[in-house]
Amino acid sequence: MDAVYTHGHHESVLRSHRWRTAENSAAYLLPYLKPGLSILDVGCGPGTITADLAALVDGALVPDSGPMAPASGRVTAIEVTADALGLARAEAAARGQRNIDFAVADAHALDFADGTFDVVHAHQVLQHVGDPVQALREMRRVCKPGGIVAARDSDYRGFTWFPELPELDEWLALYQQVARGNGGEPDAGRRLLSWAHSAGFTDVTATSSTWCFATPEDRAWWGGMWADRILKSDMAHQAIRSGAAAPETLDRISAAWLTWAGDTDGWLSILHAEILCHA
């Protein structure tokens, strides 16, 4: 079940993750959230989505409710290492969001009693774990009967872009090779529903949504971020160490991301799958 987290937590990776909000990354789940609920956020990363979820279940933030404010819900955020968890802790502290508990835990073997949480959530995590079905079994176990297990994952083979720069095809092939070498599945989106069924869920709503980057600002952000990531993040070091890519290849891919970012015709769509599993 062991897998190495391909991206790591280099600044260039965090630049991407910290852009995420509950709205742009968990919209499919939002209609089911209300103050008072308890949520487990599996693989919370730097915790921007976590803090948003905590605000949504925080009874104290319900406007004009005075003494009738609903009880506050809580979010438990888990990560595999204390260092990674520290990033989410710092994000919550910076926002003054107090209804979050933090724990080091592995998605494959959650250290929580059966039926603990109303909602169990994982964003872009199942693609990185060694056994996503076991992770979903555990997410199901710690969810209350009648609760919701929610997961969203991208599908790398479903990414589409223009212009069709050959170096970006190289980037995709290299990412898939490194991620699979680490025990993950980068084309996770298309498999989410099947993983949920294998984990024992019988009532699953499966949907898809995309991120699209096509304005000069969005292209500069995404292209600049990957131009750095392919040279400096854990993935870059793994690609070199394993012999999957030479430094010149990474330089070429990095330059291509900047070319794409500077092209007024540049467009990129990132396909995601979502599952809402009724426990």
Ligand X SMILES: C[S@@+](CC[C@H](N)C(=O)[O-])C[C@H]1O[C@@H](n2cnc3c(N)ncnc32)[C@H](O)[C@@H]1O
44 contacts 79 by C-beta, under 8 angstroms = yes
Quote the CA–CA distance of 143 and 128 in Å, as a whole number: 21
* Tokens linked to 179: 């991620």
Q: Are 152 and 181 in contact (CB under 8 A)?
A: no
Nearer to ligand X, 44 or 270 (CB): 44
CB 210 within 8 A of CB 271: yes
- In the bound state with ligand X, the residue whose beta carbon lies nearer, of 123 and 219, is 123
Q: Which is nearer to ligand X, 21 or 215 (CB)?
A: 21
Task: Select 85 or 277, whichever has its Cβ closest to ligand X.
Answer: 85
Are 262 and 163 spatial neighbours (Cβ–Cβ below 8 Å)?
Answer: no
Q: At closest approach, how far in Å is the CB of 121 from ligand X?
A: 8
- 83 vs 169, beta carbon nearer ligand X: 83
Alpha-carbon distance of 263 to 273, in angstroms, equals 28
CA nearest to 90, candidates 132, 136, 55, 44: 44
Q: In this chain, which residue has its C-beta nearest to ligand X?
A: 45
Q: Which is nearer to ligand X, 84 or 192 (CB)?
A: 84
Query: To the nearest whole angstrom, how small is the minimum distance from the Cβ of residue 49 to ligand X?
Result: 5
End-to-end CA distance of the chain: 23
Give dist(CA 130, CA 125) in Å, integer.
10
Q: Residue 76: beta bridge partners?
A: 40, 101
Rounded-to-integer distance, Cα 252 and Cα 171, Å? 10
Tokens of 15: 């630049």
Which of 104, 130, 96 shows the shortest CA–CA distance to 44? 104
Please report how close the Cβ of residue 148 comes to ligand X at its closest, in angstroms.
Answer: 17
Kindly state the smallest distance separating residue 231's Cβ from ligand X, in Å: 19
Question: What ranges in the chain are assigned the alpha helix state H?
Answer: 11-17, 22-25, 48-56, 82-95, 132-141, 166-181, 192-198, 216-232, 234-242, 247-262
The residues binding ligand X (CB under 6 A) are 5, 17, 20, 25, 42-45, 49, 78-80, 84, 106-108, 123-125, 128-129
Minimal distance, residue 123 CB to ligand X, in Å: 4
Nearest-approach distance from CB 222 to ligand X, in angstroms? 15
- Least distance between ligand X and beta carbon 108 (Å): 6
Question: Do the Cβ atoms of 53 and 75 come closer than 8 Å?
Answer: yes
Q: Which one, 43 or 189, has the nearer CB to ligand X?
A: 43
